[in-house]
Amino acid sequence: MDVRLALTGRRGRLRLLSGMVRANRPWRLVPSLSPAIAAAAAGAAFGIFYSNIWQLATALGVGRQITVMAVALVAMTAWLILDNGLWESRRNRSLREEMLLSNASTVLTVAVGVVIMFALLFVISLVTVVLVVPPHYLGTTLMRESGFDDYVMIAWLSTSMGTVAGALGSGFADDGAVRQAAYSRREQERRARLDRADGSTDDRTADRAGDA
């Protein structure tokens, strides 16, 4: 189906966009990011075992934790898209609207994959910090009685720190594997078709310039 035929109204665009993201199956992105996951786990481990991070995490508050998490998620999403060449750029004006939709689906696909990775890392971090750090020792470090919410805050900040480290580690991931995981087969075929269409436009432009 021609994507341009489906771009009728805001609801049609949103339905098409959600369908493209579902077809890309964002959860497939996680296994292809093993270098990023390894770096993220190392960064999270630093937060779990470093007592100064415990004090910082419990002092930040929910609002700042959300801000740190959002920055980490955006940083990793942007890094994956730019470093792996997932952002489309078309010279052909007739393809611009389709390009915008494709880029939006790419951002959402990668973002969902990153959020899934963050959630998995958070669960692992929370289980680890609960098992490794005794409540009385945590209370001694914090100089007050500790509770489960303290463990949550420590795991939360550690996961955010790990995600930033994971963004750097994602540079070692295989570009082809990431691209293949980020796009469904139909999306890969569609991009190849657009590349050919965009290339033919460039050829015609060059021919006209040569004739002139």
Summarised one tens digit per residue, pLDDT across range 43-76 is 899 889 988 999 999 999 999 999 999 999 998 8
What residue ranges do the domains of the chain occupy? 35-173
> What's the confidence (pLDDT) of residue 206?
44
Q: What is the pLDDT at residue 95? A: 61
The whole-number pLDDT of residue 138 equals 94
Task: Report DSSP state, residue 172.
Answer: G
Report whether 153 contacts 58 (CB < 8 A): yes
- pLDDT tens for the chain, 212 residues: list them: 444 445 556 777 777 778 777 777 777 777 777 777 888 888 899 889 988 999 999 999 999 999 999 999 998 888 888 877 777 776 555 567 777 777 888 888 889 889 999 999 999 999 999 999 999 999 999 999 999 999 999 999 999 999 988 877 766 555 565 666 666 555 555 556 655 655 555 444 444 445 55
pLDDT digits (tens, 9 = 90+) for 6-26: 555 677 777 777 877 777 777
SS3 104: helix
Is 32 in contact with 178 (CB distance < 8 Å)? yes
DSSP assignment, residue 183? S
Helical pair 62-83 and 96-132, crossing angle rounded to 10 deg: 130
Cα–Cα distance between 42 and 20 in angstroms, integer? 33
Q: What is the pLDDT of residue 205?
A: 47
Written as six digits, the tokens of 67 are 């801000």
